[in-house]
Amino acid sequence: MKYLIIDDEYIAHDIIQEYCDLLPNLELVKNCYDALEALDYLRSNKVDLIFLDLNMPKIKGFEFLRTLSNPPSVIVTTAYQEYAIDGYELNVVDYLLKPFSFSRFLTAINKVVSSTTPLPTNRSNATGTTAAQNTIFLRSNKKYIQVVIDEILYIEAAGNYAKVVTTQEIITIREKISDVLTSLNSEAFLQVHKSFAVAIKHIHSIEGNRITIGEHLVPIGKLYKLKVNELVR
């Protein structure tokens, strides 16, 4: 994913680039310190993602964005919270309020990955063409693992951690189950217990107070029974 930083503060460039360097598949192509410099670059170059500051000289961030006929994904980075509504009207993927943590930054990147053209995998579908899947980055043991969302079976809370169970592996991350579901940003998952959320597409059967997913049995909590029952109505 090729990205461009547009910000008049040098320290902002350093922070964003430092965060991006921790993730695979992110390539910095240009540092721009005002919107005119960015416009000149974009006339002959394409990028997948722009990190955009709002309060800049010459042309403000949203004024710049309105000049683009086919803008790439945009993450706004600013100290001014009051402009958030305008940003979402312009289809900004996320809005990072300075100063932002790496975990909040990672949530924004995962939204970009989920909202753009899916990344190809090595698996082939029935027609022999390469299947495409949305992915998410999960941090586990000081490294970032790219996981195909469609391969996630269920998520289990485990104290201060969560276990993400996929068709390939079990990944333990230091996140609350609610935060994981927010990062997935998908209606494909349903919380069925205070400690469990399942991928609806992978449910094999529902019987009594448990759900069968592959070889796994997931309990259904009393408070979540009604939501589960709605699946079979």
Q: In this predicted model, which residue has the larger pLDDT, 42 or 135?
A: 42
Residue 208 burial (C-beta neighbours within 10 Å; 0-12, 13-18, 19+): exposed
Residue 163, pLDDT > 50, answer yes
Domain ranges (residues) in the chain = 2-115, 134-232
| Mean pLDDT estimate for the chain | 84
Q: Are 136 and 149 in contact (CB under 8 A)?
A: yes
Bigger pLDDT: 160 vs 44: 44
Bridge partners (DSSP) listed for residue 140: 143
CATH 3.30.420.40 fits 134-232, yes or no: no
pLDDT value at residue 105 = 92
In tens, the pLDDT along 79-133 reads 876 655 555 556 788 889 888 989 889 888 988 887 764 434 443 333 233 334 5
Exposure of 219 in the CB half-sphere (CA atoms within 13 A): 8
Task: Name the pTM for this structure.
Answer: 0.58
Q: What is the pLDDT of residue 159?
A: 81
| Dihedral over Cα of 136, 140, 144, 148: its sign | negative
Fold classified for 2-115: Rossmann fold (3.40.50)
